[in-house]
Structures are given as structure tokens and as C-alpha cells.
Chains A and B, each alone.
Chain A
């Protein structure tokens, strides 16, 4: 039923020379929840619009289940789409909005009525059939848009920041429901968002985009734990990034990041190579202890400020080398907390250092 999508070297140059999408390649698997994640203006919407057929690629090809659809008109693509502003037909009732795609497919009236009823039940809008979109709340409009897109049983469902306009609580609920629905129907879903938490929570895989290019494609865990570029490490969550020159240490290969601080690189990094490298270290991978208790610590420093997050505490620490880094500790009780001014030792596993491409 649902399909795979192959985006092969697709570029889009708008009139006026804006290169909105630059040689993007990705394989979206059948039944996969696939997110396009990146800051505003990075080309997510343009990519989605090319998949939907509203925009023609300047170069490259788009294939669905192996068939080239690059030049197929939008109305023949059999894809569902949920627009950012929902794009519900204001002059039509909820019932008519949802029935629209089925009507275009010349399905008989009785079947349409049954399918619309089932779709509205699925998004819990039974009883709202005769309302106009203007008489619905944002969350309800969102559900109508979803019902309208899935009732046609599309090969692919495309969503452009569908939850962006909802308040936080409703957004979390809809995230959950959308994910459930996608799983239950086995939908191939391409989901555009600039919200990294949303992407991490919902996706099977994520393509992180920047400046029209794909920086990295991977599962949420890969993207978070093993970012391959500085941009990805920086964009997703809090992170500490060190930059320095390769140096030999007693325990293998190291990275001299300045003022005498030398980080031990993970064993997987080949020892011979020299040159400049960037590495990332997540705040929660760092273990803090009171100074003096761990003489062999990776680094030492002083707590500058604390940020109480409830389940965890985020510390800003000035290292003796002058670097400022973030360290996050689980909140294991008052006695374990540090206060600004405390001297601390920092420890981490060298394998938690992630080498970045610039």
C-alpha cells in the first residue's frame, strides 16, 4: 500500500537564483516515519513541495517505488498532504472537506460516506461533520486536515510543520496520535519540522538539513549520539564542542584544545592522522565529582552557574584551561548538588567524544 521514495540528487534553484535545495539525496523506506529537520529557510518545505509536485526540481529525480515521478503533475501523485496552515476549504463543511479527495476519485456516494465517517471517527471528530473549518479550534482543524489526507489512503503522507501552530500540550498529544496513526496504517510519512525534540520523539529516521543540503541522515539515537558534523552536533540539543590539534598522549591519540588541556580521543580514531579536528561532548555524558576526590579526572574547573531542570541540573563550568562547558547531572538529591563557586572534577568516557566533520 504505502510506498518508498527515492530522492536522487535533487536541486531547486528559484527564479532569482536562490539555491533553496542543493543536491539532496535520500531514500525514504516504505512505512517509515521520516523527518526533515533544520532551521527555518534550510529548504525543508521546498523539498516537500517537490515530492508533492507543487515545485519542479531544477536537477535530479524523484522516484516512488522505483517509478520516476519527477514530472508527474501533483494531482496524479496519490500523496496526502497536511499543510502548515491546514489549507482547509473554508467554503466547505468538515464532511465535504474530508470527502473531497474521494469525490475526485469518482467513488460511489455510499462508500464515500462510510469512509468519511470512519476517518472522522479515527481523528475523534464524530459529530462535527456539518461545521465549517472557521467554526473549529486549531486542534480540530488539524485533525480535519489529517483525516482529509489519510482518507484517500495515500501512498505517502507529507506533513509540513503540521503541529507548529498548536500550543505545547495539544502539540504533544497530537504528536502521539499522529505517530500511533502512522504505525497503525503503516504509512510512509515525510514530516517537516524545525523542532528537534519533535523530530527526535517521533521519527524512525531524520534528515538534518542546513542551507539546502543534507548534513546527516540517521535514527534519532544516531543523530543525537553520533552527529557527524559540527552543525548537527550544535543544532540538536546542548553540546560542548572542542577544536584542536592532534597530539600524541600516553594513552593513545589525543587532541590538544588549548591551554594545556589534552583530550583523549576514542580508540576508533586512527592514531597516525594529524591536523585540526573538532569533537563534541554531550553535557549528560560528563560525570561531576567534588575536586580532590578524582585525581585522574579528565578536567577540573569551577561551577559558574546552575540551571535546575527538575529531573536534572545543568551546570556551566569554567575549566582551569579557560574553556566553558555545560555538564548535566541527574538530580540525585540535595546532598549531591553543587553550588556556584564549587570546585569540581570532570570525567567522561573517551568513547563519548564524537569526531565531527566541519
Chain B
């Protein structure tokens, strides 16, 4: 009697096994190795006398410079997330509610098209727009709106602009799914009860799209704090972020242990965020879990 489910379980396990192995191999193993490396004095593959140490972490904790780098990285991540949300939400709302199929297809294409171009290409395009002699400054100056070129590049503003462009599609796609699942009749019910369109948005649409806002923000933030190419090119090595620092430690200083410790810090930042996210989401949607 109870044999059939057992067999089915085994069959299921059989199918899950390869992906589970792959997951272990390419996810847990590298992170585990990184965690071990961050606690070693050197690379055990090439160096003879390797011992356990916490000096990499001590170095990060002792030097305010590293705090500055971590904070810059988080700051860029936060601004990118906020800007992507501000741009992405209206777009996603439009896309989720547009009636015509052709309109929806066009919007989807407009959102996805940038993703078809490589990040490097897009970043260079932004450089052509944002630099002192770029399109934007030239236009503003010829119109007489500014006398000096605006500093749009080789600072955090430039990096955030470039990152927002890259990550807005992730925000839009995440949000569209969630907003699209909100029953329009809930909004109509609110209006019927006397809520203006703005009130309806604040009381019904926004709270019900919170899971999407959180998920999209988490995704964009995690991607933004680990971005490398855009911060390098649009920051012009003036702005130091964690991924740039990690790369430098590996390629220029060959200090793999320290790079691993920095990597663990980056991971920790993301991890704290995921936990906080789950906590917040649990609190806002726990109310709905019995539906």
C-alpha cells in the first residue's frame, strides 16, 4: 500500500540528484573554499607552511579604509536600488495593467532590449554620454544652461547611473509579475468605497505589491554591490568598491587570503540582507498566509 509513494519518492530523488550535486559543486564548494582560504596564511597549493589565522579579518576591522570601501559599496547599492525602484515601479505597473497585447509586447521588448547588449558596451555608451565632453554636457553647454561641465562621471553618480540602466529590467520583471497578480477588482472595490486613485494606490496596490518591491530590491542590491565592470569604467578607479578591491588583492597583490576575507564580508552583507528581507516579508505577508 505505502510502497507506491516510496517508489515515487525514490524516482523523484533520482531526478533531483544531478541538480543537487551540481548545486553543491558550484555553490557550496566555492564558498566553503573561500571561507577556508580567508582563514589561512597563504595558498596551500603553492606555499609549504600554511597555518590558520584571523589576521585578514583583523586587518579589515582595524583599518577604517576598508570600512570606507564597504560603506561606499553599500551606498552605491542603496542608491542604485532606490533609483531602479523609482524608475521600475511605474514601468512595471504600466506593463502589468496594459490592456493591448501589442502594447505589452512592445513594453517587454523595450525593457529587455538593453539586456541583449553586453555590459561593457553599454558602459562605454554611458561614458560617451556622461563624460566632460560627452553628449549631455555638450548639449547643456551649447544651450547655455551650464558654464562648467557637470561632473557626471568618475564619481558615484556615474556608477549609479550605469548600474541603474543595467539592473532596472530585473526590477521591472520582478515587479510586473507581482503587480499583475493583484486583482484589479480590489482597486475597484477601494474606489467604489470612496478612495481616490492616489488613495487606492497607497492603501491597496502598494501594500499588495510589497513582496515584489522587496524581492526586486534585494535582487538589484545584491547585483549592484557585486558589480565590477561598471564601477571600474564609470568610476575611473576614483571610487573603490569591494569587488574592485577584491580583484586588486588577487591580481596585483596575490593576497588570496585577504581577498577571500573581503569576499566573505561581501557575502555577509548580502546574507544579512536576505535574512532581513525574509523577516520583513514574513511580517507583511504572514497576515495573508492562510488564504
Contacts and interface: CB of A to CB of B under 8 A. Distances in A.
Q: Is B a genuine binding partner of A?
A: yes
A73 B200 CA distance: 13
Given A91-B288, A134-B290, A81 B189 contact: yes
A250 to B, nearest CB: 62
A52 B287 CA distance: 30
Interface stretch (B26-34, B88-96, B135-143, B191-199): B191-199
Interface in B138-197: 183, 185-186, 188-197
A41 B281 CA distance: 40
Contacts, number: 80
A85 B185 contact: yes
B99 interface: yes
Contacts of A73: 191
B192 A52 contact: yes
B291 interface: yes
Nearest to A151: B193
A90 B193 contact: no
A79 B99 contact: no
Interface in B191-225: 191-197, 199-200, 203-204, 207-208
Nearest to A80: B192
Contacts of B183: 85, 87
B195 A104 contact: yes
Nearest to B183: A87
A74 B191 contact: yes
A350 to B, nearest CB: 50
Given A74-B188, A90-B208, A134-B291, 20 more contacts: A15-B99, A52-B188, A74-B191, A74-B192, A75-B191, A75-B192, A75-B193, A85-B183, A87-B185, A90-B288, A90-B291, A91-B207, A100-B195, A100-B203, A104-B193, A104-B194, A132-B291, A135-B290, A148-B193, A152-B194
A235 interface: no
Nearest to B200: A75
Contacts of A81: 188-189, 192
B190 to A, nearest CB: 7
Contacts of B207: 91
B33 to A, nearest CB: 44
A45 to B, nearest CB: 11
Interface string A65-83: 0000000011111111101
23 contacts: A53-B191, A53-B192, A54-B192, A74-B192, A75-B193, A75-B196, A77-B192, A80-B193, A83-B188, A83-B189, A85-B185, A89-B186, A89-B204, A91-B208, A100-B193, A100-B203, A104-B194, A132-B288, A133-B291, A134-B288, A134-B290, A134-B291, A135-B290
B186 A78 contact: no
Interface of A: 15, 52-54, 73-81, 83, 85, 87-91, 100-101, 104-105, 132-135, 148, 152
B287 A152 contact: no
Candidate in A79, A87, A105 with the most chain B CB atoms within 10 angstroms: A87
Interface residues of B, number: 27
Contacts of A152: 193-194
A53 B185 CA distance: 13
Contacts of B284: 91
A54 B184 CA distance: 11
Contacts of A91: 207-208, 284, 287-288
B291 to A, nearest CB: 3
Contacts of B289: 134
A15 B193 CA distance: 27
Nearest to B190: A100
A79 B196 CA distance: 14
Contacts of A100: 190, 193, 195, 203
Nearest to B194: A104
A119 to B, nearest CB: 13
